[in-house]
Structure 1
């Protein structure tokens, strides 16, 4: 049996600790699936597990990318991770994949290829070691959302209908796929869906590895938020400001050399640096007083706390929606086990023991229990997802624009809600009155034009 253990979850829930626990118990090696933690020399900003907490377990793809290297695309990460999984298994060990960049880990877990993944990495020449923005190749990618949407509507109208006109990131990504591959993203998505449907009809597994267990380390919302706030304080004590200062100095040196660094990719979008960037820029302005600088520093730190909580929510949203849907399509939702880490003082009972028991059960070839049976939190969260899946199967998202209210809604459900809303009904009445007034004025104007003609005919 060749098992694969995957550990997912929001930042601050204890994923890295669980990965070390399981690797220690089952003779494993860990593969990092967090895009930020791949960068070398930034252990605090990227929240890398300290060396003294790794229990001597090898950690792959951790601190392996320099600041001046091209950020890894999904295709390159998947290719390297699959190679590592084979090597780890060849040594008679168990691969443990852990990370918070869930679209990275999901590309490894499932056979269905993600759209546009690594087209340059896999089919073209090796990428340059310089940080070059894709917008240098296609300047239109730096345009405002309305310009991006106009171009996407021209080259891929089907995809344009899926995105909200103000969702610049998704519109930009669809255009980037078109420019990189020479094909419409909508066509690639359609092919992937067809391959999925064929695999399901043939009863072929969509999971890449049959013996896969996925552990979702989760915590109650308020507890996690409090934990994340405290984490930012710990990071500051450990030297967060020094790392952010070093990154800021690096950028300044590059600019002095006439080199533009793409700040929209890679470690430059990591939480902790981009929020502190205004502070380090202000330090270079002699007119700023110490009081102003300190106020700005505190504001930036609060922004880090807010961004960290928001990132945690987005990670949970990905698991609830994207990961769950992929597992549902594969008929494998029973492979996702939620572990409640709300009470870290009870780690052994709530996390270590149940996870080790589940892995051992799978290794023994015995059926694993219902994931909802592990805890009340698992019962609540997973039970709700099962009920939602039964009641409302997901459909392809499409945007609808109300010409009367000048609003755009993403999805048929939001569109239906809008159509029955008070604002829309009020808009309909207003539009009807306006049409009535316009018709009256047109009629009056027409009558006034006809009157002189009538008098002239009498003469």
Structure 2
């Protein structure tokens, strides 16, 4: 009998990807997994958080809340040098994954920019193709079974009415934490006060265009000017809240599009945990978060890593 050569396919590297709309707790879950269950390092996949500055406005996880877990591609780039393309992100994040794996740790990709996630994991990425174009789902259908990593997708989901209410409160909390002062310093540092110019990199952050008119008009002493300034501030805050909710809706739409195309996204319903937050002033309900999000995530990831 003639010997037949057997083709052996190299095993793909395993990575964990935490997806979800803005404000759904992706960073918290990544820290929970990394500090309590699986030795991990975290790679940011939020396209605005890639850039330095405006930490409150862009809602970067504070250093003290990272609990010693290494974070990569978080506030590392200067948008004045140009905007990082999805193709460039693919290359840089891939190299970072290799480095993490070389340390025998699990790479965890966490962030809300689904275009970056798609660029990173697709086997054959076409930078000229918009896979989230509503009229053509074929590129996503083709890529669903052609990923260059062995991916465990965790989708942290919150019912939209609850998420919207939470996001409105979060914007207020961000201002309480000093967002207005941060924006003021940013506009003062610009060469042309209040002029955003071309919106690239961090200049796409929600908060900057909404407050441009406010900071252009600050400085008058007349009582009417003061009243106008307050009105502009209130309108800017309301615009931030509206645009944040719209962003969340778009992100969920893209995630649902990926799932309908065959991507194996494991949905974690965090609605109960967020509803508990809205009913109290004590922050995230540990009990609901553990039961509805952390525990099922651990089971999914453990099974994935042992396969």
- Please state which band the TM-score falls in when normalised by the shorter chain: 0.7 to 0.9
Cα distance between partner residues in 1 of 2:289 and 2:67: 17
Map 1:257-336 → 2, pairs under 5 A: 262-283=197-218, 289-321=225-257, 323-326=258-261, 328=262, 333=263, 335-336=264-265
Cα distance between partner residues in 2 of 1:324 and 1:289: 51
1:233 aligns with 2:172: yes
1:355 aligns with 2:297: yes
Deviation at 1:350, TM superposition (A): 0.5
Count residues with an aligned counterpart.
Answer: 277
Q: Who is 1:242 aligned against?
A: 181
Flag the 1:115–1:76 CA change in 2: closer, same or farther, 3 A. Answer: closer
> What is the RMSD computed on CA atoms of the aligned residues?
2.6
> Deviation per CA, 1:299-321, whole angstroms, max 9, x where unpaired?
11111110111111011011111
- TM-score norm. by structure 2 comes to 0.83
Flag the 1:37–1:163 CA change in 2: closer, same or farther, 3 A. Answer: closer
Cα distance between partner residues in 2 of 1:112 and 1:90: 24
User: Residue 271 of structure 2 is aligned with which of 339, 342, 354?
Assistant: 342
> Deviation per CA, 1:394-435, whole angstroms, max 9, x where unpaired?
xxxxxxxxxxxxxxxxxxxxxxxxxxxxxxxxxxxxxxxxxx
User: Residue 213 of structure 1 is aligned with which of 139, 152, 156?
Assistant: 152
> Deviation per CA, 1:194-250, whole angstroms, max 9, x where unpaired?
x986x89xxxx41111x3110110111111011000000010011111121122122
Asked whether the equivalents of residues 112 and 251 of structure 2 are also in contact (C-alpha less than 8 Å), the reply is yes
Asked whether the equivalents of residues 46 and 110 of structure 2 are also in contact (C-alpha less than 8 Å), the reply is yes
> Deviation per CA, 1:360-417, whole angstroms, max 9, x where unpaired?
112222xxxxxxxxxxxxxxxxxxxxxxxxxxxxxxxxxxxxxxxxxxxxxxxxxxxx
Cα distance between partner residues in 1 of 2:147 and 2:260: 12
Higher-helix-fraction structure: 1
Q: Which structure 2 residue ranges, 5 or more long, are not aligned?
A: 1-10, 274-284
Asked whether the equivalents of residues 100 and 107 of structure 2 are also in contact (C-alpha less than 8 Å), the reply is yes
- Ranked by relative contact order (alpha carbons within 8 Å, sequence separation 6 or more), the top structure is 2
User: Residue 162 of structure 2 is aligned with which of 204, 223, 227?
Assistant: 223
User: Residue 98 of structure 2 is aligned with which of 68, 79, 86?
Assistant: 86
> Deviation per CA, 1:171-198, whole angstroms, max 9, x where unpaired?
xxxxxxxxxxxxxxxxxx9xx95x986x
Q: Who is 1:184 aligned against?
A: none
Flag the 1:38–1:115 CA change in 2: closer, same or farther, 3 A. Answer: closer
Q: Who is 2:54 aligned against?
A: 42
Asked whether the equivalents of residues 40 and 106 of structure 2 are also in contact (C-alpha less than 8 Å), the reply is yes
Asked whether the equivalents of residues 86 and 127 of structure 2 are also in contact (C-alpha less than 8 Å), the reply is no
- TM-score norm. by structure 1 comes to 0.56
Map 1:45-194 → 2, pairs under 5 A: 45-116=57-128
**Between Structure 1 and Structure 2, whose CA radius of gyration is higher?**
1
Asked whether the equivalents of residues 240 and 272 of structure 1 are also in contact (C-alpha less than 8 Å), the reply is no
Flag the 1:208–1:220 CA change in 2: closer, same or farther, 3 A. Answer: same
